[in-house]
Structure 1
């Protein structure tokens, strides 16, 4: 009797309905694969940032300009490759095969924040390399050397009130620029993490189907 009921239900199922169900299941599994790939790309980005920070910290201590510049070039290529792959995913989600405009927009939002984060990270490193105006080392190229260990420094000048104010303003401007860039990176990281939570919720929902 149970078998007869089952066969009856199967015979009543529209073949087109079965095909649609199969397509939906296939679409869900493909979407799941893409979203998991996206999370792996985000891990690659995180690792690249960690390498960049390590290299910059070493550069600030040892001054190895060449090694630092070489790593910056490698990291730039890594970020470009990540962006290219995410862009391809966006196009797939926008295509009729997937029809997930919401996910395409989610990935686009992450891309925008990642671009901002990278730009501001570079700004922070440039500022830190330059140092505060009042603490920058002087170049003695134009100074007159009178003895092997003594020279007449052209940089020595009477510290006037105006010069002191100018230096203080330059320092304040530098400090504000650095704080703004650091705050911008923090804001971008918060926004990226929020978007990644949305991606994880979507993965959980698809896995539950």
Structure 2
């Protein structure tokens, strides 16, 4: 009888320890997922800063301030990426064994990379402007009098030249539309995956 009671106690103790360990793992997973959402929030704030800075640049034309902002934001994005890669690695190790969550945040990381690349592409295109709208520089023109000069840019508008300009404009418009569509697709994919993370957090909170 004593042996039976000892076995029961040992079993109960093991069950309690297993439950505590399971709760502990769930708690650690929960903390890591919350941290991941926090990093995503930092990314969102960096995008707001970048968008605002670019809008200011397009109005003011002050290149230096815009370049400084790009450098600052790049550091922020790199820091976010580094943290996410660390989390992915942690989810894959033996303490967590959650390859599913590692894969989930890896997909988000890939989409974020694509979104940033396309955002930069959009800004570069908008800075350059449509080919037909670009301002002409007169630095190579010959000036006879202060207010008069022979403009090297004046040329007879031929049908071929007009077609070439229209094609350049169409190429520019398509590139811009494609980049904008790509950003929208990335944002949609990221939001869907973040929703999965939130569901996982809710499930873990319910279990603890």
Write the distance in 2 (CA, Å) between the matches of 1:100 and 1:201.
15
Any residues of structure 2 matched to 1:1-209 within 5 Å, and which?
A: 11=9, 13-209=11-207
Which whole-Å deviations, capped at 9, do the CAs of 1:114-143 have from their partners, x for residues lacking one? 000000000000000000000001111110
2: CA distance, partners of 1:71 / 1:129 = 15
Aligned-partner Cα distance in 2 for 1:13–1:95: 28
- Structure 2 unaligned regions, length at least 5: none
Distance 1:51 1:58 in 2: 11
- 3-state SS in 1 of match to 2:137: coil
Shift of 1:16: 2.2
Give ranges in structure 1 of 5+ residues lacking alignment: 1-6
Shift of 1:11: 3.5
SS in 2 for 1:137: coil
Q: Kindly state the Cα deviation for residue 17 of structure 1 after the two structures are TM-superposed.
A: 2.2
TM-score after normalising by structure 1:
0.94
After the TM superposition, which parts of structure 1 deviate over 6 Å for at least 4 consecutive aligned residues?
none
> Any idea what SS the aligned residue of 1:14 has?
helix
Q: Return the alpha-carbon distance in structure 2 between the equivalents of residues 94 and 17 of structure 1.
A: 26
Count of paired positions? 202
Using the TM superposition, name which of 14-23 and 137-146 deviates more.
14-23
Instruction: Give the TM-score normalised by structure 2.
Output: 0.94
Instruction: Quote the residue 1:3 is aligned against.
Output: none
d(CA) in 2 for partners of 1:106, 1:162? 52
Please provide the CA RMSD for this pair.
1.4
Give the Cα separation in 1 of the matches to 2:165 and 2:143: 27
